[in-house]
Chain A
């Protein structure tokens, strides 16, 4: 019998309203007990967690692991390793791969091979439409049976409202959440960064916030109409957050996420044509950053997700307009939250862990995100006070495309445990 005792840490388990010093006992891959002065089984691996935060394993429901087909950017081993290093015990991968994850065999293959990696858990998001071409529905019932946890065409957002309505009606029937990258691509056509004074100055085509807000409104209306569990991916503007709140108040089955870069850096980071500050949705303004922090604090943003999008170095070393969108996030997400949300007093530990673990699990409907005894022992131990400098060259991920290289941050995962096995630390 293998047991681990996490002793004397500050346990934050939002699902069970625990926020205080406690021990966590893990036995045979399962949470056995959470409490003070627990009886220690002989032979336990005792870890002193004094001064550390012990939480349900962190979950990132929006990552690109590039398998199958783009292993030069990332693969399951590097991607799930990066997740573990960043404190994530589970991630959900997007289907924009080559080929697209739009059939059951691909889902099964990924699920099987991810287990063999023995790092972070993998949940698979399947495409909403075949080939993400927004033309024919995928076989959602079969995809679900194969293990897919949600459907999404991510950045290839369905523009035709009737097709989107049908897709959401169908997804509601098979009870798969629909994850939407909200962008009206007619209004945002050709844009490469936030539309504003910086894009005007740099002579780059802008991605107007209104293109995203318009589409969040459509998603909210269709969520009401179809009853589909609808999740808004990577919210970046104040207006989007306000629309999400509006539809939540109306009772829409709506959830939303934002990402770390949307609360701590702005489109000023693009200055100098820094392709490591190019992503879609783009970095916005200071006011939007404040809105994102507030929306995480209030829970309007249910979850935090990175949109981890690794690219090869040479792909980013191109003319700004030609470089691909996306930055890596798995190994900086936790620290960007601790540094900019928790340490600043904007967000409590409980809400932060809720957004990093409990709510993400709920959104994709997986049995995780708590330290409830009897549940699988997915646990993250965080040193909240360690100060460290981001070194992209040392990432476990193959992607080094981060705007945070060289930045000093607070807080880091010191131990990541998946099903009772230490996968990092």
Chain B
């Protein structure tokens, strides 16, 4: 039986104990059982209100949180940046104080500003879940990736994970670096110098500039989304050259172990960072990641809101 982590926030995976991470993963496994039922609704969070506050467009993550809340019978209220008071000049702090006063039981936040969820968590008592903040962290993505890897490959201890692409701008990369390394995986990152942040080698990673060395012996190849706009800032020359040097396709995947799995947080640019057909192939776990996402987010809501029993 999972023990709640009541009254805390989920802001990032950095600094979380291995025990805590495992607690999230074990709880997610229980919830995966529930969402695989015919009637996938439990009264666990009945009477609780969960607010998603998204200052960036996101269909995938917001829907995943919404589904997680609804499967547990919470009232889920979605607020997006364009409908919120920020367009009227309200500060983030005032927005959070207002949502707290509206008696929200949990605020889930997506923001282009690194650190905003951590700052907001200090302004209110209600638990805050970071659903992605700028270039900082995306902890539920990190958890769902760890969950997916563990489910397919078994314990993370000693597994080699290669994270490929735009590490500099990626919150997914940071959450995975912290989460996976704490869980015992050997984390390698691969990408062009221009997409590597300064002093990244001081984090628990091995840095590579070539897929051949970065993927050698990898059990997991995690492909990061590449934003095409980055081309305009001289971060890489062309989509063509990017795909030739850092794209994951049938040919480059051969550098990894034959049974390596391929992951992508989505949305994918097929033909750019990932080969056109690869996501549909037998090594891809992209769709499993999405399902894991719902289970992990149910676990997060459950653990932070302190419901008595998983089944309610």
Contacts and interface: CB of A to CB of B under 8 A. Distances in A.
Contacts of A202: 114-115, 136
Nearest to B171: A203
B14 A204 contact: no
Contact of A196 (B114, B115, B116, B198): B198
B207 to A, nearest CB: 12
A273 B198 contact: no
B199 A196 contact: yes
A160 interface: no
Contacts of B33: none
| B interface bracket (residues with beta carbon within 8 Å of A) | 20 to 34
Interface string B206-220: 000000000000000
Contacts of A317: 91, 93, 123
Contacts of A199: 197-198
B111 interface: yes
A319 B198 contact: no
Interface in B180-216: 197-200, 202-203
Interface residues of A, number: 21
Contacts of A367: none
Contacts of A314: 91, 93
Interface string B93-128: 100000000000000000101111011000100000
Given A317-B93, A319-B111, A203 B199 contact: no
A39 interface: no
B135 interface: yes
Nearest to A275: B119
Given A203-B135, A273-B119, A317-B91, A322 B198 contact: no
30 contacts: A196-B198, A196-B199, A197-B199, A197-B200, A200-B198, A200-B199, A200-B200, A201-B203, A202-B114, A202-B115, A202-B136, A203-B133, A203-B134, A203-B137, A203-B174, A204-B114, A204-B115, A208-B198, A273-B114, A273-B115, A314-B93, A317-B91, A317-B123, A318-B93, A319-B92, A319-B111, A319-B113, A319-B116, A319-B119, A321-B113
Given A203-B136, A273-B119, A319-B119, 19 more contacts: A196-B199, A197-B200, A199-B198, A200-B200, A200-B203, A201-B174, A202-B115, A202-B136, A203-B174, A204-B115, A208-B198, A273-B118, A314-B91, A317-B93, A318-B91, A318-B92, A319-B116, A320-B113, A320-B114
By Cβ-Cβ distance, the 7 closest A-B pairs, closest first, are A203-B136, A273-B115, A203-B135, A319-B113, A197-B199, A203-B114, A200-B197
